[in-house]
Structure 1
């Protein structure tokens, strides 16, 4: 099942600096971000082999996850110091994006349309 990851953050009078290192359990091969979503829902898939970490670096959104045992969980991402690790078998979708949300995705594989499974 998906799990939250905490990223080291340095905060002082100049602002905040969050570092994503040593906590990602894979080599990052692809990075992309989702924004300007409005009222849309995204995702509705799982992967054959890709592992992902998603981070809402601005605003907020809800990520719903259903694992291979049909266990469901809702995660609200609203803190750039927190990421969500999604395993390949985690069927997931995102909704309830705030107007200013930016969802950053770190992936273990480059894009391959054959890696996507859209049926629960």
Structure 2
């Protein structure tokens, strides 16, 4: 059975009288080479994002402002994590079904990705995902 391979990573928080600064560096506090960066924002009330899995892509999600829930599913178990800290990133390994929802107003969620965009890497049908994880054992 595929493990729910995810973990919260505390990123360095550098604080002084001017405010705070947090750094994410590939292969240092981010466990992969960063090939793409994007962010989610202005998600409508009761809206959700994600709702798919990736065959190869790994991600680090950071709620740089606001909060949201991230539900992870490996085909056998589910886990929901609250992202609400701008110096904590949620590492998400490949082959996990991911859904983000319950966005607070003004949330900005930054995503660091291990691969560039590739439509063939997405699994967007949950039943197809279940077949994929069962065959990948």
Deviation at 1:118, TM superposition (A): 1.6
- Residue matched to 2:102: 96
Aligned residues: 119
Deviation at 1:119, TM superposition (A): 2.6
- Give the Cα separation in 1 of the matches to 2:32 and 2:85: 22
- Residue matched to 2:112: 106
Establish whether residue 65 from structure 1 lines up as the match of residue 72 from structure 2: yes
Deviation at 1:12, TM superposition (A): 1.7
Structure of higher CA gyration radius: 2
Deviation at 1:13, TM superposition (A): 1.6
Long gaps (5+) in structure 1: none
Deviation at 1:67, TM superposition (A): 1.6
Q: Which runs of 4+ in 1 moved over 4 A?
A: none
Q: Which has the higher strand share?
A: 1
Which of structures 1 and 2 has the larger relative contact order (alpha carbons within 8 angstroms, sep 6+)? 1
Deviation at 1:19, TM superposition (A): 1.2
Partner secondary structure for residue 55 of structure 1: strand
Partner secondary structure for residue 120 of structure 2: helix
- Give the Cα separation in 1 of the matches to 2:23 and 2:103: 24
Long gaps (5+) in structure 2: 127-137
Note the aligned Cα RMSD (angstroms): 0.9
- Give the Cα separation in 2 of the matches to 1:71 and 1:23: 27
Q: TM-score, normalised by structure 1?
A: 0.95
- Give the Cα separation in 2 of the matches to 1:31 and 1:17: 18
